[in-house]
Amino acid sequence: MTDVSSLFRLDGRVALVAGAASGIGLASAQGLASAGGLVICADANEAGVEVAAAGIRQDGGRAEALGLDITDRMAVTDAFRRIEATHGQIHVLVSTPAVNIRKPLLQYSDAEFDRVLRLNLTGNFLMVQAAGRHMSERKTGSIILFSSIRSVTVEPGQSVYAATKAGIVQMARGLAAELGPDGVRVNCIAPGVVETPLTAPIKHEPSWYEAYATKNALGRWAKAEEMIGPVVFLACDASSYVTGAVLFVDGGWTAIDGRFTPPLSMVAQSD
């Protein structure tokens, strides 16, 4: 009989988490460490990932900190090379970084458009390309990208961000098809509204915050820690036959077709 609990363990595996200094990335790193993995906490915020890794170690987990700008190809290549040299293999990649500049499409500047695409698409492209090459050589691995409910449903001020999140889904699906024969799985998690430092400005506008809470079936925002279960599931053997999938963790937002027209002048952007 299969030991079900062992399916959700990551003992002996190395997980690289991009965006681990805060929010969903930090929660993901903590969850993977709790499941037994050695977690490389990566982020452009070097001080933040030092704190994140130290916190995991203090709680009895294994973690290392890595300063990393995922939009820098040379930095990404070097990071994978160093992790491979030290640990031999990267079994799991979780990539969470994104930026959202909330404003009407007709008001977007070229620089703003480039900024959103560079992090949300180019950065994730560089990470999955490096991870895909590394994992395909070893015939195993799990790549987890973060999309959003905005990949399938939008509202005023979200068009560019939504385009990148839909692009992440298709990039993941295409890569899943390409790497499937090599035993590498690629999946997406699509959260709804999540309580993180980056969404704090919305919380400070009560009508906006409450409107989002009432637009999903559960009637509330998610906590970052509620992404841990989906991340660990997709990282471990419990999901060994899952690839090319999009797991919506949205409190039923897409089920009931939640929509809100936000006061865009109140919150310009979040990283």
Q: How many secondary structure helices (H) and strands (E) does the chain include?
A: 11, 11
Local structure of 248: helix, strand or coil: strand
How many other C-beta atoms can be found within 10 angstroms of the C-beta atom of residue 266? 13
Q: Is the dihedral of CA 134, 136, 141, 145 positive or negative?
A: positive
Q: Whole-angstrom Cα distance, residue 194 to residue 200?
A: 10
Task: Name the token pair of 177.
Answer: 């098809």
Q: Say which residue the tokens 């959103």 belong to.
A: 116
Backbone φ, ψ for residue 72 (5° rounding): -105, 105
Tell me the C-alpha distance between 265 and 268, whole Å.
6
Q: Is 161 a catalytic residue?
A: yes
E-strand spans in the chain?
14-18, 38-43, 62-67, 92-95, 100-101, 141-146, 184-191, 194-195, 222-223, 246-249, 269-270
From the CB of residue 227, how many other CB atoms can be counted at a distance below 10 Å?
A: 24
Q: Is the dihedral of CA 162, 167, 170, 176 positive or negative?
A: negative
Residue of 161, 209, 212, 241 with catalytic role: 161
Active site residues per annotation: 161
